[in-house]
Structure 1
Amino acid sequence: MVQKLIIFIWILFTPVLSISQELKCAVQVLSSQIQSSDKRVFQTLKNAIYEFMNNRKWTNDVFDDEERIDCSVLLNITNWDRASDFSGTIQIQMRRTIYNSSYDSKLINLVDKHFHFNYLEYDPLEFSEGAYITNLTSILAFYAYIIIGLDYDSYSPLGGTPYIQKAQNIVNNAMGSEEIGWKSFGVKKNRYYLADNLLNQMYRPLRNCYYSYHRLGLDKMSEDVNASRAVITQGLLSLEEIHQKQQGSYLLQIFFDTKGDEIVNIYKQANDAEKTQIIRLLSKIDPGHTTKYVKIKK
């Protein structure tokens, strides 16, 4: 009896190890363009997506709660047939806390305009890695793996490859559907090309840049600003190789859409030679943001 009492007390007061899922994903569903007096389905959809993204185990790795990947999904629904047919856009963002600071650096910020799905209120969101079930869960799972892959890339060279491969498998399963965004023909800025390019040898400099920029650059800023900025410069210089082979690259567009403002802030404290070098580089490989980059000299 005494032994049982001791065991009971030990169980009662021993802390339970908390193992969290990988994603800490905020979800928003906007429906301002939908004229309807009953929009309950959008709240139900939001809750279902939140559960899908946050409660599913995406990897075999163990995450503490503070290690979860901070990300967000924003659906802007512009068309709904009042039954099960929805379309609009989906915005994906992901942030990574920089070592020894309170600063969060965005790793991805994109808007996918090829967003159409069918959903009946209260239907479970079903997903299988081995088969295409619904377009909604395929898109959500695809971006979950892209988020995890890029996060892992930022901590170790090409560390996210297994998860980007999982994203590509989702593409392969979805290619047989009639839904847009999964095909290798037509629009070249879609989910097919996002996964394909991330695994393409030609884009290896960008994958390596995610590591050097974040782990060897931003994470080291608290130790040596000038040395860390020099590492970031080398990573950005390596992207010129991609630009020479593929101008208008979707991956480079995503990278600079996400990082442009941050890069400006990084180099505002650089010396004149560094500023001139980086402005010349960025204006060449990302001409769409030239007016932003000239602010580095101000």
Structure 2
Amino acid sequence: MPKVKSFFLPFIVASLSLILAFLNQIGFAQEFNCQVQVSAPQIQQTNREKFQELRKGLYEFINERQWTNYGYKIDERIEGTLAITITQELSSDEFKGKINLVLRRPVYGTSYNTTLLNYIDDDFQFQWQEGEPLEFQEGSYGSSLTATVAYWVYIFLGMDFDSFSPLGGTPYFDKAQSIVNSAQGARETGWKAFEGMKNRYWLTENLLKSSYSNIRKAMYEYHRKGLDLMQGNIEKGRQGCLDALEMLQRAHREKPRLFLMQLVFEAKRDEFINVFSQAPPMDKTKAVNILKEIDPSHANDYQKILSAGK
């Protein structure tokens, strides 16, 4: 009998390996499927492979690291783009530049992806040299490069979760805030309150301040009770979007010109116009009035809603 068992053992092991590999393919993955780009068009480079290595390292840092305790199916991974443009080479291992950040979310029952964030972070300075591993540990600042990228990863997570459940992104905004706190002694900019009103410090401040929470609640309303319903019931879905605009209007009247509100409109402006261009006349008028009140510099764009479809 022992000989029979040993005879079948290799086949059993091989079968289990195939099953596990199959389950891994159809089962769970990391949270992100992010495109990563690194370019340095203004810098004369003798070693372009250096930035290719950095791009590869950042791709793995974002997409292959476990950022939450949740299991994501492969087709549930969060889609986004992180494009770094290096504008200055301060030394052989220190650089300045900007990060173009785009976060997308699928709309239920469609092939359409809606934009949750479209922002350029201009406060980006970091040190890195070839062969240096990209390491990050929660609760410590470490390097500016990984701290900044991890910060935006947590913002991506928080905004994605907020769009599926009311204030669902709070744990990830808390993690981003923890990075901000640990960066208060850093020499790099973008982390401190006094450096300007549109930076990483103020974004997490806006996101976590309870008196501004209507903006985040509106994003849930807009996506789950608005866009996600439009494929099956366009009137009900559009009403959800209009309810979300009214929530944004209330938030605007309580505190105008918030950085977070500006980010919402940078991401959603064109979509707002598309959503309400085919609405009934009364809804068009209400939407246009709200949009022009919150975002007056683009009033002419919103005015086009009234004539659309005629």
The separation in 1 between residues aligned to 2:244 and 2:175, in whole angstroms, is: 26
- Residue pairs, 1:34-49, within 5 angstroms: 34-49=43-58
Task: Quote the offset at 1:191 in angstroms.
Answer: 0.3
Q: Does 1:288 align with 2:297?
A: yes
Query: Which of 52, 74, 80 lines up with 2:89 in the alignment?
Result: 80
Give unpaired runs (5+ residues) of structure 2. Answer: none
Percent identity, please.
40
Match of 2:163 in 1: 154
C-alpha change, 1:82 and 1:277, in structure 2 (3 Å) is same
Counterpart amino acid of residue 40 in structure 1: E
The separation in 2 between residues aligned to 1:288 and 1:117, in whole angstroms, is: 34
Query: Whose Rg is larger?
Result: 2
Q: Secondary structure at the match of 2:41?
A: coil
Counterpart amino acid of residue 192 in structure 1: Y
The separation in 2 between residues aligned to 1:245 and 1:41, in whole angstroms, is: 48
- Residue pairs, 1:228-267, within 5 angstroms: 228-267=237-276
Q: Secondary structure at the match of 1:260?
A: helix
Query: Which of 227, 231, 250 lines up with 1:222 in the alignment?
Result: 231
Query: Which of 146, 168, 173 lines up with 2:182 in the alignment?
Result: 173
Match of 2:63 in 1: 54
Q: Does 1:111 align with 2:120?
A: yes
The separation in 1 between residues aligned to 2:60 and 2:15, in whole angstroms, is: 33
The separation in 1 between residues aligned to 2:160 and 2:4, in whole angstroms, is: 50
Q: Does 1:11 align with 2:16?
A: yes
Match of 1:136 in 2: 145
Match of 1:204 in 2: 213
Q: What is the CA deviation profile of residues 214-263 of structure 1, one whole-angstrom value per residue up to 9, with x for unaligned ones?
A: 11111111111011111111111111222223222110110000000011
Q: Secondary structure at the match of 1:121?
A: coil
C-alpha change, 1:12 and 1:57, in structure 2 (3 Å) is closer
The separation in 2 between residues aligned to 1:177 and 1:82, in whole angstroms, is: 18
Q: What is the CA deviation profile of residues 162-185 of structure 1, one whole-angstrom value per residue up to 9, with x for unaligned ones?
A: 111001001001111111110011
Query: How many residues of Structure 1 are paired with residues of Structure 2 in the alignment?
Result: 298
Q: Secondary structure at the match of 1:238?
A: helix
The separation in 1 between residues aligned to 2:269 and 2:5, in whole angstroms, is: 64
Normalised TM-score (structure 2):
0.92
Q: Secondary structure at the match of 1:34?
A: coil
- Structure whose residues are more often helix by fraction: 2
Give unpaired runs (5+ residues) of structure 1. Answer: none
Q: Secondary structure at the match of 1:36?
A: coil
Q: Secondary structure at the match of 1:76?
A: strand
